[in-house]
C-alpha cells in the first residue's frame, strides 16, 4: 500500500511514539499503547550492524517484536548510509512490521561521525538512493523522518525530494540539525504548517516537537494541519502525554508507583535483551521528579545492574509503592493530589503543576533555573520565545548563547 491507503489500513493513528535509541523498545511500546499511543516506531537500528552482526540483531530484535497480537502497528527505523546494507537489514524485518523508516533526523555527534541521520542533509543524492532502493525492493512501504533547515524553501525542496524518492509517510521534526543540547530551543510549528500546506494535499504528514501535555497534541494538529503528532521525550517521562480520550489524571498523569509496576510486569512477561537493556533508563525517567524527594532510591537504582535478578528490581518497585502508599495516608491527600493548570503562555500552551508522585514533563535545570523559565530560540526563525510570560522585563533571562551558557531547552527532544 502507499500513502493515504496505508495510513487508513493501520487505523489512521493520531498519536505516535517516536523512534529513540534504546528507548522505544518493545516493553515501552506495549506500555505506551495502553496510555493512548496508536502507532509506535522501534528504536533507531544501525542498518549495517543489523544486517551483518547476529549478536547486535539479537540485542535489538526478538520473536515478540512486530507480533500481530501485541506490537502493531509498528514501523521499524534504521539509520544508514549504504543502500545495500539498508536493504539487507530491512529485508530481515519486512514481514513483521507495517513499514520501514529511514532516520534522517538524528543530530547527535555519533551520527556525524558515522555519517547518517541528519548529517545526510548534506547529500541529497545519497538520501534519494537509500529511499528509492527500499521503495523498489521491499514488500512494505518506506517512510522517512527529517529535520528542517533554517531556509524554509530549502526545507520544502528537501521534503519534496524525499517524497519523490518513494517515502509514503513524512515525519518532520520542527527543529534544525544544530538544535541539540545547549542549543535545542523550540520547534517551529509555523514552518511545519508551511511545509504541510505546500506538499501534495493528500500527503500523510506527521509533526514532531514541543509536545509537553496531552492538550498540546490537538493544538499542534490544529496549527499545522497534520495527520498525527509524534512525541519522544514527552512520552519517555510520561506515557500519559498521549491520553486524550478523557481528562482522567490517572491516565494523563499516572501515579509513578502504578505506572512503574505496570511497566515492570511487562518486562517480566517479555524479558528480551532490548527490554532489559533499557530498563534502568526507564526507571530513572518515570521517577525523575519522585527521586528529587526520595533521594535515597537514586543510588539503589544506579547500582542495580540491568542483568541482576528480576527480584532485585521488583524490590525497588516495592520501595516506590511503599513510599507512595505513605503519601496517600495523609489526611489532606485530596487537596494535595490535584493537577493545577497555569495561565496561557506566550508559546501557546499552559504549564501544569503536577504532584511529584505523578508522571510529568522534564524541564532541565541549569544553574538552578528550570528551562521553562528561559528565553529560547525558535527553529528556522530569528525570533526568540520567552517560555514563561509571567516574568517581568527585568527578570527575563538573556537569549541563549552557546558560547556563554550551558542552557538546555524546554522539553528538549520532544
Domain count, the chain: 1
Q: In whole angstroms, how far apart are CA 142 and each of 32, 64, 163, 189, 413? A: 23, 22, 10, 25, 24
Within-domain flag for 296: no
pLDDT by residue (tens digit) across 89-135?
Answer: 999 999 999 999 999 998 888 888 999 999 999 999 999 999 999 99
Q: Which of 132, 117, 63 is nearest to 93 (CA)?
A: 63
- From the list 14, 13, 17, the residue with the least C-alpha distance to 28 is 17
* pLDDT of 369 higher than 90: no
* Res. 380 pLDDT band, cuts 50 70 90: confident
Query: In this structure, is residue 103 part of a structural domain?
Result: yes
> Which set of grid coordinates corresponds to residue 106?
538524528
> pLDDT value at position 373?
52
Averaged over 59-75, what is the pLDDT? 97
Q: How much of the chain exceeds pLDDT 90, in percent?
A: 80
Residue position matching grid coordinates 525497588:
316
Q: What CA–CA distance (Å, rounded) separates 213 from 228?
A: 15
Please give the span between the terminal C-alpha atoms of the chain, in angstroms, as a whole number: 29
Looking up cell 528480551 gives 272
Per-residue pLDDT, 414: 41
> Domain range holding 159?
3-247
At residue 367, the 3 state secondary structure works out as coil
Domain assignment present for 192: yes
Q: Output the average pLDDT for the chain.
A: 90
Would the pTM of this model clear 0.85, i.e. be above it?
Answer: yes
Give a yes or no: residue 342 inside a domain.
no
**DSSP-assigned letters across all residues of 314-365:** HHHHHHHHHHHHHHTTSTTHHHHS-PEEEEEPTTSSEEEE--TTB------E
Residues 6+ apart with CB under 8 A from 173: 105, 145, 146, 147, 148, 187, 208, 209
pLDDT at 396: 35
Handedness of CA 252, 239, 146, 162 (dihedral sign): negative
Q: Which helix (H) or strand (E) holds 266?
A: helix 256-269
What is the average pLDDT across 241-259?
Answer: 97
DSSP state of 371: G
CATH at residue 96: 3.20.20.70
- The reply to whether 259 falls in a domain is no
- How sure is the predictor about 387, in pLDDT bands with cuts at 50, 70 and 90? confident
Identify whether 176 is part of a domain: yes
Give the pLDDT score at 315: 98
Per-residue model confidence as pLDDT tens digits over 389-414: 654 333 333 333 333 333 233 333 34
User: Tens digits of per-residue pLDDT, 329-367?
Assistant: 999 999 999 999 999 988 888 999 999 999 999 986 544
- Phi and psi torsions of 161, nearest 5°: -60, -45
Q: Given this model, what pLDDT does residue 49 score?
A: 98
Peptide bond preceding 93: is omega within 30 degrees of 0, i.e. cis? no
C-alpha dist (Å) from residue 333 to 97, 239, 324, 325, 356: 45, 24, 11, 11, 13
Phi, psi of 75 (to 5 degrees): -120, 130
Higher pLDDT, 414 or 326: 326
Under the phi-then-psi rule, with left for phi > 0, alpha for psi from -120 to 50, and beta for the rest, what region is 308?
A: beta
Decide if 182 is inside a domain.
Answer: yes
Q: Is the CB of residue 36 less than 8 Å from the CB of residue 245?
A: yes
Contact 378, 384 (CB under 8 A): yes
Catalytic residue ranges: 106
- The reply to whether 120 falls in a domain is yes
Amino acid at each position: 500500500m502507499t500513502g493515504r491507503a496505508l495510513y487508513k489500513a493501520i487505523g489512521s493513528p493520531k498519536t505516535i511514539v517516536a523512534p529513540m535509541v534504546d528507548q522505544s523498545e518493545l516493553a515501552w511500546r506495549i506500555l505506551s499503547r495502553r496510555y493512548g499511543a496508536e502507532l509506535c516506531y522501534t528504536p533507531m537500528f544501525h542498518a549495517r550492524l543489523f544486517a551483518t552482526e547476529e549478536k547486535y540483531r539479537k540485542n535489538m530484535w526478538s520473536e515478540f517484536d512486530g507480533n500481530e497480537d501485541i506490537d502493531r502497528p509498528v514501523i521499524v527505523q534504521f539509520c544508514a548510509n549504504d543502500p545495500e546494507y539498508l536493504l539487507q537489514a530491512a529485508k530481515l524485518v519486512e514481514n513483521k512490521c507495517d513499514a520501514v523508516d529511514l532516520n534522517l533526523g538524528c543530530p547527535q555527534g555519533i551520527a556525524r561521525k558515522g555519517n547518517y541521520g541528519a548529517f545526510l542533509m548534506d547529500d541529497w543524492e545519497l538520501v534519494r538512493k537509500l529511499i528509492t532502493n527500499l521503495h523498489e525492493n521491499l514488500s512494505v512501504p518506506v517512510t522517512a523522518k527529517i529535520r528542517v533547515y533554517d531556509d524554509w524553501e530549502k526545507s520544502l525542496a528537501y521534503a519534496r525530494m524525499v517524497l519523490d524518492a518513494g517515502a509514503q509517510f513524512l515525519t518532520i521534526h520542527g527543529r534544525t540539525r544544530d538544535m541539540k543540547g545547549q542549543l535545542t530551543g523550540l520547534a517551529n510549528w509555523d514552518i511545519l504548517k508551511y511545509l504541510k500546506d505546500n506538499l501534495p494535499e493528500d500527503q500523510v504528514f506527521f509533526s514532531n516537537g514541543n509536545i509537553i501535555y496531552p492538550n498540546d497534541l490537538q493544538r499542534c494538529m490544529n496549527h499545522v494541519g497534520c495527520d498525527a503528532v509524534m512525541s519522544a521525550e514527552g512520552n519517555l517521562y510520561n506515557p500519559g502525554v498521549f491520553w486524550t480520550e478523557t481528562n482522567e489524571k490517572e491516565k494523563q498523569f499516572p501515579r509513578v508507583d502504578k505506572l512503574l509496576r505496570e511497566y515492570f510486569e511487562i518486562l517480566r512477561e517479555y524479558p528480551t535483551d532490548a527490554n532489559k537493556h533499557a530498563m534502568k533508563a526507564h526507571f530513572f525517567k518515570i521517577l525523575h521528579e519522585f527521586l528529587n524527594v526520595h533521594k535515597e532510591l537514586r543510588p539503589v537504582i544506579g547500582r542495580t545492574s540491568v542483568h541482576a535478578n528480576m527480584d532485585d528490581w521488583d524490590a525497588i518497585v516495592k520501595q516506590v509503592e511503599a513510599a507512595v502508599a505513605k503519601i496517600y495516608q495523609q489526611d489532606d491527600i485530596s487537596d494535595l493530589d490535584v493537577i493545577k493548570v497555569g495561565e496561557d503562555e506566550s508559546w501557546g500552551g499552559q504549564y501544569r503543576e503536577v504532584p511529584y508522585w505523578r508522571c510529568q514533563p522534564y524541564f532541565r535545570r541549569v544553574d538552578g533555573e528550570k528551562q521553562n523559565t528561559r528565553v529560547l530560540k525558535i527553529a528556522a526563525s530569528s525570533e526568540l520565545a520567552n517560555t514563561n510570560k509571567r516574568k517581568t522585563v527585568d527578570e527575563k533571562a538573556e537569549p541563549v548563547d552557546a558560547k556563554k551558557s550551558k542552557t538546555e531547552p524546554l522539553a528538549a527532544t520532544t
